[in-house]
Chain A
Amino acid sequence: MEFSKPLLTVSPSPHLHSGMTTSGMMGTVVLALLPACLVAVYLFGLPALQVLLICVVSAAAMEVLWQKATGRRVTVTDGSAAVTGLLVAFNLPPSSPWWLALLGVLLAIVVGKQVFGGLGHNPFNPALVARIVLLVSFPTIMTHWSAPQPGRFFADAVTAATPLSEMQATVTLTGSLPQNPTGFPTGYLLGNMAGCLGEVSALALLFGALFLLWRRVISWHIPASYLGTVIILSSLFWVIDPSRYPNPVFHLLSGGLMLGAFYMATDLVTSPLTGRGMLLYGCGCGLFTVLIRLFGSYPEGVAFSILLMNATTPLIDRYLVPRPFGMSRTGGLP
Chain B
Amino acid sequence: MLAAVISLGSLGCFAAILLAMAARRFAVKVDPRQAALLDVLAGANCGACGYPGCSAYARALVAGTARPDLCRPGGPETLARIATILDMEVATGEPQIAVVRCRGNRRQSRAKYDYQGLEDCRAAQKLAFGPKTCPGGCLGLGSCVQHCPFGALNINEQGLAEVDRDRCTGCGLCVSVCPRQVLALAPARSHIHVQCNSPDAGRKVKNYCHVGCIGCRLCMKTAPECFVMEGFLAKVNYGHEKPTAMADAMERCPHHCIQDLAEPRETATHSPSAEERTS
Is B truly associated with A? yes
Tell me if B113 and A8 are in contact (CB < 8 A): yes
Tell me if A11 and B279 are in contact (CB < 8 A): no
Select one of B106, B110, B128 contacting A10, CB under 8 A. B128
Tell me if A2 and B272 are in contact (CB < 8 A): yes
The total number of A-B Cβ pairs within 8 Å is 38
Select one of A7, A11, A12 contacting B111, CB under 8 A. A7
Tell me the bound Cα distance from A26 to B128 in angstroms.
Answer: 37
Q: Could you give, for residues 1-28 of chain A, a 1 whenever the CB lies within 8 Å of some chain B CB and a 0 otherwise?
A: 1110001111110000000000000000
Q: Separation in Å of the B209 CB from the closest CB of chain A?
A: 9
Chain B positions 184-223 with a Cβ under 8 Å from a chain A Cβ: 208
With contacts A10-B131, A12-B127 taken as known, whether A3 is within 8 angstroms of B116 at the C-beta atoms is no
Residues of A within 8 A of B263 (CB): none
Residues of B within 8 A of A2 (CB): 272, 276-277, 279
Residues of A within 8 A of B118 (CB): 12
Tell me the bound Cα distance from A224 to B235 in angstroms.
Answer: 69
Is B117 positioned at the interface, with any CB of A under 8 Å from its CB? yes
Chain B positions 228-279 with a Cβ under 8 Å from a chain A Cβ: 272, 276-277, 279
With contacts A1-B107, A3-B107 taken as known, whether A9 is within 8 angstroms of B276 at the C-beta atoms is no
Is B115 positioned at the interface, with any CB of A under 8 Å from its CB? yes
Residues of B within 8 A of A8 (CB): 113-114
With contacts A2-B272, A2-B277 taken as known, whether A9 is within 8 angstroms of B116 at the C-beta atoms is yes
Q: Separation in Å of the B5 CB from the closest CB of chain A?
A: 33
Tell me if B111 and A3 are in contact (CB < 8 A): yes
Q: Separation in Å of the B207 CB from the closest CB of chain A?
A: 10
Tell me if B113 and A7 are in contact (CB < 8 A): yes
* Secondary structure of the A contact surface, majority rule: loop
Residues of A within 8 A of B128 (CB): 10
Residues of A within 8 A of B96 (CB): none
Residues of B within 8 A of A1 (CB): 107
Residues of B within 8 A of A11 (CB): 115-117, 127
With contacts A2-B276, A2-B277, A2-B279 taken as known, whether A10 is within 8 angstroms of B109 at the C-beta atoms is no
Tell me the bound Cα distance from A299 to B109 in angstroms.
Answer: 70
Residues of B within 8 A of A7 (CB): 111-114
Tell me the bound Cα distance from A7 to B110 in angstroms.
Answer: 10
Tell me the bound Cα distance from A321 to B114 in angstroms.
Answer: 38
The size class of the interface chain A forms with chain B is under 10
Select one of A3, A10, A12 contacting B113, CB under 8 A. A10
Tell me if B107 and A10 are in contact (CB < 8 A): no
Residues of B within 8 A of A12 (CB): 117-118, 123, 126-127
* Secondary structure of the B contact surface, majority rule: loop
Tell me if A10 and B279 are in contact (CB < 8 A): no
Tell me the bound Cα distance from A11 to B128 in angstroms.
Answer: 10
Chain A positions 22-37 with a Cβ under 8 Å from a chain B Cβ: none
Tell me if A3 and B110 are in contact (CB < 8 A): yes
Residues of B within 8 A of A9 (CB): 113-116
Tell me the bound Cα distance from A11 to B123 in angstroms.
Answer: 10
Residues of A within 8 A of B113 (CB): 7-10
Tell me the bound Cα distance from A2 to B104 in angstroms.
Answer: 14
Chain B positions 76-117 with a Cβ under 8 Å from a chain A Cβ: 106-117
Q: Separation in Å of the B240 CB from the closest CB of chain A?
A: 36
Tell me the bound Cα distance from A154 to B113 in angstroms.
Answer: 63
Q: Separation in Å of the B114 CB from the closest CB of chain A?
A: 4
Q: Separation in Å of the B134 CB from the closest CB of chain A?
A: 11
Chain B positions 44-69 with a Cβ under 8 Å from a chain A Cβ: none
Residues of B within 8 A of A3 (CB): 106-111, 208
Tell me the bound Cα distance from A9 to B117 in angstroms.
Answer: 10
Tell me the bound Cα distance from A7 to B132 in angstroms.
Answer: 11
Residues of A within 8 A of B110 (CB): 3
Q: Separation in Å of the B6 CB from the closest CB of chain A?
A: 35
Tell me if B114 and A10 are in contact (CB < 8 A): yes
Which single residue of chain A is at the shortest CB-CB distance from B133?
A3
Tell me the bound Cα distance from A11 to B117 in angstroms.
Answer: 6
Residues of A within 8 A of B115 (CB): 9-11
Which single residue of chain A is at the shortest CB-CB distance from B279?
A2
Q: Separation in Å of the B143 CB from the closest CB of chain A?
A: 16
Tell me the bound Cα distance from A11 to B124 in angstroms.
Answer: 9
Tell me if A10 and B111 are in contact (CB < 8 A): no
Q: Separation in Å of the A133 CB from the closest CB of chain B?
A: 35
Which single residue of chain A is at the shortest CB-CB distance from B116?
A11
Q: Could you give, for residues 213-243 of chain A, a 1 whenever the CB lies within 8 Å of some chain B CB and a 0 otherwise?
A: 0000000000000000000000000000000
Residues of A within 8 A of B107 (CB): 1, 3
Tell me if B127 and A10 are in contact (CB < 8 A): yes
| A-B CB contact pairs (8 Å), 5 listed | A8-B114, A10-B114, A10-B115, A10-B127, A10-B128
| Known contacts A3-B108, A12-B123, then 19 further A-B pairs from the complex at CB < 8 Å, ordered by chain A residue | A1-B107, A2-B279, A3-B107, A3-B109, A3-B110, A7-B112, A7-B113, A9-B114, A9-B115, A10-B113, A10-B114, A10-B116, A11-B115, A11-B116, A11-B117, A11-B127, A12-B117, A12-B118, A12-B127
B-side residues, CB < 8 A to A, are 106-118, 123, 126-128, 131, 208, 272, 276-277, 279
Report the 3 A-B pairs with minimum CB-CB distance, sorted nearest first: A11-B116, A10-B113, A3-B110
